[in-house]
Amino acid sequence: MTTATFGGGCFWCVEAAFKELDGVQSVTSGYAGGHADDPTYEGVCSGSTGHAEVVQVEYDPDRIGYDELLEVFFSVHDPTQLNRQGPDVGTQYRSIVLYHDEDQKRQARAYVEALDGEYDDDVVTELEPLETFYEAEEYHQDYFEKNPNDAYCRMHARPKVKKVREKFRNKLKN
């Protein structure tokens, strides 16, 4: 198994999208990229910790590649929105790829550079080495799965899951 870490707005939405994919063993919501030790949801939401809401994806590279994870990640959020995604505003919702090694760094950088010409606005996705991943509180894990009728999930997570199911049919779990 290999690990990848991404932040693209609310972790509920990103988590739900990645959980659809064949080869993804697990997706854990959490916090990374900031300066505070042992952050809490309330602290991260305040913007005072420097952390972003992220997901950590454990995957089998023999079944799905990092390049495919990047493709899914960039299809379920807008990498041109600085410090926000949809209704969620603040640095905690920034677009960020936290790479685990030099190969991930190289692939992510190449992907972002290729994307830059596809948008009218600049791609603002940050590329940073992962230093520490902090797992979010239990009630955030599998949030969409546990709360499919939550208003936020219906308006924001469900369309991302639908997009993954339509666009990546050949990469879905059976």
Residues designated as active site: 10
Written in H, E and C, the secondary structure of 71-117 is HHHHHCCCCCCCCEECCEECHHHCEEEEECCHHHHHHHHHHHHHHHC
Residue 113, CB-side half-sphere exposure with 13 Å CA sphere: 6
Longest dimension (CA), the chain: 41
- Is 59:2 a contact under the CB 8 Å cutoff? yes
Residue 54, strand partner residues? 30
Total H helices, total E strands in the chain? 7, 8
Element containing residue 2 per DSSP (H, E) = strand 2-8
